[in-house]
Structure 1
Amino acid sequence: MSSSTADPRTSVDNLTIIKEHEVEVIIVPSLLILATVVTLMAVCFLRYCPERKRTRTTAPKRNHSSLHRHTQRHSHRHRLQGIDAPPGLNPLEHEELPMSVQQVQQSVGPTLAAVPQMSTDRHPGAFSQVTALPLSFAINPNDTVKVYRARMDNRDVILRVLKESANSSEKQHFLGFASFVSGLGPHPFLPGLLGVVSVQSPLMMIVEELQHRDLLGFLWRCRQNHSDLESPFDMTEKRIFTMAGQVASALEYLHSQSCIHGNVGARSILVGGDLTAKLWGLGSAYRRTAQANSPGEVEDIELKKWQAPEVLGRGAISQSSDVWSFGILLYEMVTLGDPPFAQLMATELLQYLQRGKHLNRPASCSNSVYSIIKSCCHWSPQQRVSMPELIRILQAREKSANGRTVLRVPEPLDIGKYLREAGYGEACNYAVL
């Protein structure tokens, strides 16, 4: 009788205990088990389903975020961009080339360590109207890099295309030069680097096109007579100071980047449709950077008549050496493309300068221009005008210069005579792009 009455009390006590500890005994362990299962499922999904995620991120549909990245790409055009060309397309054919922009991924050598990487959106139809760009004149042209004109983003561009059979050394040099130009950053009087095809062959550099191309050819066209008085190919003294000031500004910027150009001349200046002059021809500067063990070496005999005496003598090149070459550039501009020291052979120039000789004053050159040429072309680098002072002088002379009297040269251009008098050798390559 007593045992039968104890059973109900014991059951009631047990239920009471379970009720009191329901949260600790049942709910908390259940929640922990559920969280563990969810976590394991998420880990398994991320671990074994990467293709699904990649497909979503590269879908061709453009959303708000992709438009934002596209805008961001245009605001950083001085940085390298990888443009992956579909295989089997020949840039010599006059057809539209659908291109896609992808992330730069290159590991061809330590030179490319500074190449910035960026991820951009697919950009179909990036290049169109691709045509071969003829040189002004070509003698033994460079067979490693070809130059084409094309359209990209509704603007004219120049494509520097590396041959598809290039070896690893040529590829490293090509991409190293692209990295070098990109590292200089943007400047209003340097041609803009718009992109680099670096994902697959053919490798390319995309540079803005300047309508009138090189200044040397522009000066030669200025020799022609025009019936209209407002011809865009008229060179006046005022225009000389304007364009020279733009080139000097670019040179000063390069010097601030610890870069010596070493190849200043009318052939290395590009002229835009609005007659803005932009400094190019940076191959010598890159080679000097890549080959720091030979800083004073003159690599191209055709450049000797533009080089400072210390460079001709295999001495150290400096910013003052660019100032000397700038003086020769002024001589080219005022003579509408005559070669300097035309009466001398290139091998005779250093001895000629050692005797205290200098550039003769051209008949068409005013005292204002010739005084600047002389201040640039002192034998001693220390006596040459500094680049900041040169810019100040050019700006002051521009304000008071004659902008009406047009420079003319009566003699027609003779290419063969020019090559001989400029000191170009048989293995000459005139291409600067």
Structure 2
Amino acid sequence: GEDEEELIGMDNIPIKVDMNGGQSDRNSDSTPYISELLGKFEEPVLKQNMAAALISRRRLDIGDLIGKGYYGVVYKALYTHSDSDKQADVAVKTLQARRSEAEALQQFLQDVALVRDLSHPHLLRVVGAVISPSDDPIVVMPFMATEDLGSYVREPAKSLSLVDLLIYCHQIADAMAYLENLNIVHRNLAARNCIILEEDNKTASIKLTDYVVTASLFPKEFYVGEGRVSDLVRWMAPETVEDFIFSSQSDVWSFAVVMWEVLTRGVEPYPNTQADGLISLVKDGKRLPKPRQCPESVYQIMLSCWTISPESRPTFMQLIEQLRPYVATGDQDGGEEKSHLLTSPVDVGGPDEYKQLSG
């Protein structure tokens, strides 16, 4: 039969599950596999949400490769909705998971079910996930014909003032405060994981991507393993690198690194430092130097996010308040000089300017 959706009775609750690549016949390898993955969960609502987060691989017509990241590759795809046969462009990210045992996939699915319900103007929605016994897990998101924030600020042709750049940072802090309030940890905050949407005569709008869902699939060894240290540590708090502790406070550390990326107009953090030597330098008090056109007061905000003790860092709610005076129009304190500083264009610098760490 054509119908790939099946009613699976779990604890006598009929749940409609959109099978991942499953056939409608009972011999499909995915049907028992998905039933088993979901079978562990007692909570009917959670189970239902997780079932709703599953997307059938057969509903995705995967097209061109559009990006590669640390965790996997991203393709453009055409998604056919199960209930209406309507089609939509989506981006699918295949996660080259380092862990594929049932517990990791169950946690992954639970995370996807959790973030599917989030709604914030600066978060890119998660549509759902594809899981099958033989392939890498896939996260499905709306497709945006745009670029990431890191690439965007690196373009010399774009005239961007300090206010523009700080508005982007403020929008990111706003989305992060929303996650923080829900006790959701992003874990992967970097300029490459923010996309930027330009609208005519309006300030461009940032959308955060890649939040939460990689958590269960990539163990500590992926970041810091036998004889190798991933470049991802450039964005990570010391307690994350050393003890694999992720929290809203470690997100705050990463956020200040994103601020630094944005205000230097796209320089890679610690351009002159090998990833494996980074944490000992940071623990010795070395920090990213002040971006050339960054006001001292903004740099102090960044430094406060880079205190070794996580409890001493500001919250995202506090960061929103601290950044607000720089982005609020018309009420800048400090008169013309400050206002000129904020509205003049920021040059695209190069890594050579930032070889010397401060502290």
Show the counterpart of 1:377.
306
* One-letter amino acid of the counterpart of residue 150, structure 2: L
Show the counterpart of 1:157.
90
Q: Distance in 2 between matches of 1:256 and 1:298?
A: 29
Q: Give ranges in structure 2 of 5+ residues lacking alignment.
A: 4-15, 24-30, 53-57, 80-85, 333-338
1:134 and 2:66 equivalent? yes
From 32, 35, 38, the equivalent of 1:107 is: 35
Q: Distance in 2 between matches of 1:151 and 1:258?
A: 33
Q: Distance in 2 between matches of 1:367 and 1:111?
A: 55
CA pair 368-212 structure 1, distance change in 2 beyond 3 A: farther
Show the counterpart of 2:336.
none
Q: Distance in 1 between matches of 2:93 and 2:314?
A: 36
Q: Distance in 1 between matches of 2:236 and 2:95?
A: 29
**Contact 2:93 / 2:140 at 8 angstroms: preserved in 1?**
yes
Show the counterpart of 2:48.
116
CA pair 354-204 structure 1, distance change in 2 beyond 3 A: closer
Q: Which has the larger radius of gyration?
A: 1
Show the counterpart of 1:239.
164
Q: How many residues align?
A: 298
SS for the counterpart of 1:133 is strand
Q: CA RMSD in A?
A: 4.3
CA pair 111-382 structure 1, distance change in 2 beyond 3 A: farther
**Contact 1:85 / 1:200 at 8 angstroms: preserved in 2?**
no
From 88, 100, 118, the equivalent of 1:169 is: 100
SS for the counterpart of 1:246 is helix
After TM superposition, give the deviation of residue 374 of structure 1 in Å. Answer: 1.6
Identity fraction in percent: 23
**Contact 2:64 / 2:76 at 8 angstroms: preserved in 1?**
yes
Cα shift readout 1:74-113 (whole Å, capped 9, x = no counterpart): xxxxxx97377698xxxxxxxxxxxxxxx99932425974
CA pair 239-112 structure 1, distance change in 2 beyond 3 A: farther
SS for the counterpart of 1:409 is coil
Show the counterpart of 1:214.
148
After TM superposition, give the deviation of residue 398 of structure 1 in Å. Answer: 0.7
CA pair 108-365 structure 1, distance change in 2 beyond 3 A: farther
Q: Distance in 2 between matches of 1:211 and 1:180?
A: 26
* One-letter amino acid of the counterpart of residue 179, structure 2: L
Q: TM-score, normalised by structure 1?
A: 0.56
Show the counterpart of 1:396.
325
CA pair 173-355 structure 1, distance change in 2 beyond 3 A: closer
Show the counterpart of 1:272.
197
Q: Give ranges in structure 1 of 5+ residues lacking alignment.
A: 1-54, 59-79, 88-102, 120-124, 226-232, 422-433
**Contact 2:194 / 2:206 at 8 angstroms: preserved in 1?**
yes
Q: Distance in 2 between matches of 1:254 and 1:200?
A: 31
Structure with the bigger percentage of helix: 1
* One-letter amino acid of the counterpart of residue 408, structure 1: D
After TM superposition, give the deviation of residue 262 of structure 1 in Å. Answer: 2.4
Show the counterpart of 1:309.
238
